[in-house]
Structure 1
Amino acid sequence: MQDQAKPEVQNDQVEQAPATPEVEEPVVVAVDSDFEEKLLQTEAKLAELQDAYLRAKADGENIRRRAQDDISKAHKFAVESFAESMIPVKDSLEMALKIENVTVESLKEGTEVTLRQLVNAFEKNRLLEINPVRGEKLDPAKHQAVSMVPADQDANTVVEVLQKGYTIADRLLRPALVTVAQAK
């Protein structure tokens, strides 16, 4: 191995550390008591505002959580009212099946009572019937034309209702199936 030669430093070439800068004396500012009082008031106001902010934030979170719970319950129990109004209809049908000596008149009377219960249940739950009349203008938002037939009435008017339609809370559940008059 070769020895690496170290450069020799002569005494007059030795680097000297830079001189330390002089430290200035801190400036002392006289603080008047009015300034200190304003500072304390400002800090108190800041603490008050922080507290109010945290309370408002917590209230907002609580409201959001309660709203989510309410929505969840509404989805879960959406059909509860409808189911409650359908129970008497089921009860009537079960009672009709238990009758041993059935006559045509009793069967018809029981069916009419059960139908009234069903209609009341529908109305209570805003399930409304769409039953267009002959000559009514075809409404594509409520009616579905399944065929066109020659008729002596205006074109695109209802000739016959094949199946009633239904809306629930102003929303179409099923359109009424109709035949309509052809253009002449």
Structure 2
Amino acid sequence: MSRPNLVYQTTSTSSPNNFKLDLRASSFTKLRRGNGLGPFRVITLVSLDAILLSLAWLVAEAYGTPFFASPWSLQCSPFALLGILGIQIGLCAGQGLYQRGDNRHDYFGLIKALTLGHLLLVLVAFLYQPGYFVSRSTFSLAWLLSLSFTFAGRLSTDLARIGDRGDVGRSL
């Protein structure tokens, strides 16, 4: 059995430029379940990561070595958190952690992106103003907490998605 011809020829001329695609067999519109949710999932993941990374930095500063004269202190400059979040979320996006498919579940890529982000922040902190004291315990605690919080956030969204699909009772 042969496949039906998906193109038809117009009646005005027989040149190859006048072939049009048949709209009944369109490959442009593929309707799938959850097709329009892609941007919503990306916005949700970026927002969740931003909230959890902010919380990690705030907790790390509260429990780290207190030093209020540091330009990295959120009490001295609360807008420093925007730069920190920009670097970390930008590296996560560059790693492809907000794309469709299995990239969102790449926890090793998340470790690499957040570790590189914290190393860049430490490098900038020591090169930007080397005379200031930068608390190593705050940076270390922020790194551990950001890994822990983002892992917990990603794992909870993965488990919620599995629960919504009904795959909880099925064997993997």
TM-score after normalising by structure 1 = 0.27
Return the structure number with greater helix share. Answer: 2
Higher strand share: 1
- Larger RCO (CA under 8 A, 6+ residues apart): 2
Taking structure 2 as the reference length, the TM-score comes to: 0.28
